[in-house]
């Protein structure tokens, strides 16, 4: 049995690899539906508003449950909780293939949200306990590479399978591997809480004290606010972009999903790797480099979002997708590296859980259905020309209702997140207070 006594041991690396694979499956299962929204909407006769509500059905439990799960995780064997979570979301993903109406499909996505909320609340704290501070940026960034890569594979595999066997079979097949990984993590030993943070208290405060501690941590509050606004902008892109390629850009399902999958796979691998390497290298000189990477990547993400409207199908549009995914994912692992550094070890799972609740409850839980609603209104002609002047856009772009809705919501939010990260730098000295 591997051990986790040394940060360079095979046990620590094995744990990171196992958590990475589970996170990969996490995002494959999550984004499979995003790659299938167009055929699902045709067969079940769903509007964009209802498609946005499908996303919301996942996000409600994913947003609400983490504080409870995180508090339990700080007091329980995290690997066993993760094993249960993986089993739950994998079976629910497969069950989506049997859905016959909006309610049934939404119900399966709700159950997926329950399982994935548990996993994403607990995994970062295990990584923090397996690697010392100087290696956490790279380790955490490697873990979060699974987010865009899993998203890419989910969209790619769903399109490939659905083009031959239909969307229902696609849902069933992508849910099966998670059951194997649930057994693997159940058997794996856990790292000692706070074992690589000498001098830091690893005791786990009571729930009231825990939340008071987080509420009084200005660095934590500002990081949470900035990341919430960033996820308000980015997660709807991940959710809606495959449909934009299929509908607004007129690309067939299999081609759209395979192209999107390949672009996101490459960009989603390179972005977090480069972000983690740069952060750990320059943080030796100044710890605030973590924040500055978040600032730069957020602001630089705005032009590619605008390109989703203006660019026709082709290499330029693919470059915009690549740039957006690359930049947005450079900072993901860095955000969680900051997070586990600015709270005490005994609060890491709780702090991660609260962050997850806030970023989704006030982030993509609002923006995903909002974009669907705006798109439906634009498509139905409810928005008047006086309320929305689109004459400055090319004629082809004016008819791309979903692209317009996405850009109108995501571009300003992404710019705001960069400014908020910049503001948070002022309080980076208040770590663990």
The string of pLDDT tens digits covering residues 315-326 is 899 999 999 989
pLDDT at position 392, please?
53
Write out pLDDT tens, residues 148-167. 788 888 888 888 898 888 88
Fold for 10-195+206-382+391-427, please state it.
Growth Hormone; Chain: A; (1.20.1250)
Share of the chain above pLDDT 70, in %: 88
Residue-level pLDDT at 194: 65
Question: Do 348 and 192 contact (CB within 8 A), yes or no?
Answer: no
pLDDT reading at 431 higher than 60: no
Residue 137's nearest CA partner among 337, 293, 287 is 337
What are the residues whose beta carbons fall under 8 Å from the beta carbon of 116, sequence distance 6 or more? 26, 29, 30, 58, 62, 85, 89
Does pTM top 0.75 for this prediction?
Answer: no
How far is residue 424's CA from residue 293's CA, in Å, rounded to a whole number?
Answer: 13
Mean pLDDT for 223-252 is 90
Task: Find out whether 361 and 64 touch, Cβ atoms under 8 Å.
Answer: yes
* Phi/psi of residue 112, nearest 5 degrees: -60, -40
Determine the pLDDT at residue 6: 47
Distances (CA, A) of 154 to 225, 298, 328: 29, 25, 18
pLDDT at residue 415 in the model: 95
Residue from 259, 261, 232 nearest 406 by CA? 232
Q: Please say if the pLDDT value at position 2 is more than 50.
A: no
Tokens, residue 186: 């159940």
d(CA 388, CA 397): 14
Please check the confidence at residue 105 and state whether its pLDDT lies above 70.
yes
Cα separation, 172 vs 168, whole angstroms: 7
pLDDT at residue 69 is higher than 90: no
CA distance 183 to 403: 42
Of 433, 63, 8, 5, residue with least CA distance to 221? 433
Read off the tokens for 102.
């909006």
- Binning pLDDT at 50, 70 and 90, where does residue 387 land? very low
pLDDT digits (tens, 9 = 90+) for 365-374: 899 899 988 8
Q: What share of the chain is helix, strand, coil (3-state, %, to 5)?
A: 80, 0, 20
Q: Where are the domains of the chain?
A: 10-195+206-382+391-427
Longest dimension (CA), the chain: 68
- Of 326-330, 346-350, 373-377, the range with the lowest mean pLDDT is 346-350
Work out the average pLDDT over 142-151: 81
Judge whether residue 212 has pLDDT over 90.
no
Of the listed ranges 93-107, 152-166, 205-219, 294-308, the one predicted with least confidence: 205-219
In the chain, the percentage of residues whose pLDDT exceeds 90 is: 24
User: In this model, does residue 192 exceed pLDDT 90?
Assistant: no
User: Ramachandran region of residue 274, left (φ > 0), alpha (ψ -120 to 50) or beta?
Assistant: alpha
CB 384 within 8 A of CB 261: no
Judged against a pLDDT cut of 70, whether residue 3 lies above it is answered with no
Evaluate if residue 199 carries a pLDDT over 60.
no
Q: Given this model, what pLDDT does residue 414 score? A: 96
Q: What is the pLDDT of residues 73-84, one digit of tens each?
A: 777 788 888 999
| DSSP single-letter state for residue 342 | S
Q: Indicate if the pLDDT at residue 432 is higher than 60.
A: no
Residue 30 predicted with pLDDT over 90: no
Average confidence (pLDDT) over 53-70:
84
Which stretch of 32-36, 211-215, 379-383 has the lowest confidence by average pLDDT? 379-383
- pLDDT, residue 204, reads 59
**pLDDT tier at 433 (50, 70, 90 boundaries)?**
very low
- Tokens representing 122 are 């607990």
Confidence of residue 207 (pLDDT cuts 50, 70, 90): low
What's residue 111's pLDDT? Answer: 92
pLDDT at 202: 53
Given this model, what pLDDT does residue 383 score? 45
Highest mean pLDDT among 276-290, 339-353, 357-371, 403-417: 403-417
pLDDT of res. 386: 43
More confident residue, 254 or 43: 43
């Amino acid at each position: 049995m591997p051990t986790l006594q040394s940060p360079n041991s095979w046990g620590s690396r094995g744990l990171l690899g196992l958590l990475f694979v589970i996170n990969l499956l996490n995002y494959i299962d999550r984004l499979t539906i995003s790659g299938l929204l167009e055929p699902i909407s045709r067969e079940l006769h769903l509007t964009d508003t209802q498609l946005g509500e499908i996303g919301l059905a996942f996000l409600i439990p994913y947003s609400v449950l983490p504080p409870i799960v995180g508090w339990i995780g700080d007091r329980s064997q995290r690997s066993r909780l993760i094993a249960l979570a993986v089993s739950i979301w994998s079976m629910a993903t497969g069950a989506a293939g049997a859905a016959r109406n909006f309610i049934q499909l939404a119900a399966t996505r709700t159950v997926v949200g329950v399982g994935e909320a548990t996993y994403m609340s607990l995994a970062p704290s295990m990584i923090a306990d397996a690697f010392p501070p100087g290696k956490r940026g790279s380790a955490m960034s490697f873990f979060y590479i699974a987010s865009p890569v899993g998203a890419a594979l989910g969209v790619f595999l769903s399109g490939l399978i659905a083009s031959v066997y239909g969307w229902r079979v696609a849902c069933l097949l992508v849910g099966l591997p998670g059951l194997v990984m649930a057994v693997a993590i159940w058997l794996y030993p856990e790292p000692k809480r706070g074992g690589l943070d000498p001098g830091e208290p690893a005791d786990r405060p009571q729930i009231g004290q825990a939340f008071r501690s987080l509420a009084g941590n200005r660095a934590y509050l500002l990081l949470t606010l900035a990341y919430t606004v960033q996820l308000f902008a980015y997660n709807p892109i991940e959710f809606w972009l495959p449909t934009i390629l299929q509908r607004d850009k007129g690309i067939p399902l299999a081609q759209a999903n395979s192209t999107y999958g390949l672009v996101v796979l490459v960009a989603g691998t390179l972005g977090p790797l480069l972000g983690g390497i740069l952060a750990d290298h320059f943080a030796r000189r100044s710890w605030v480099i973590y924040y500055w990477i978040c600032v730069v990547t957020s602001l630089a993400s705005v032009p590619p979002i605008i390109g989703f409207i203006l660019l026709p199908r082709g290499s330029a549009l693919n470059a915009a997708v690549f740039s957006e995914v690359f930049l947005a994912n450079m900072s993901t692992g860095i955000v969680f590296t900051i997070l586990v550094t600015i709270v005490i070890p005994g609060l890491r799972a709780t702090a991660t859980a609260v962050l997850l609740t806030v970023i989704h409850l006030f982030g993509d839980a609002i923006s995903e259905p909002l974009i669907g609603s705006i798109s439906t209104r634009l498509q139905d002609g409810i928005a008047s020309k006086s309320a929305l002047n689109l004459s400055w856009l090319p004629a082809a772009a004016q008819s791309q209702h979903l692209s317009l809705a996405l850009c109108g919501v995501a571009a300003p939010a992404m710019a705001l997140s960069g400014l908020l990260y910049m503001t948070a730098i002022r309080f980076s000295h208040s770590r663990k207070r």
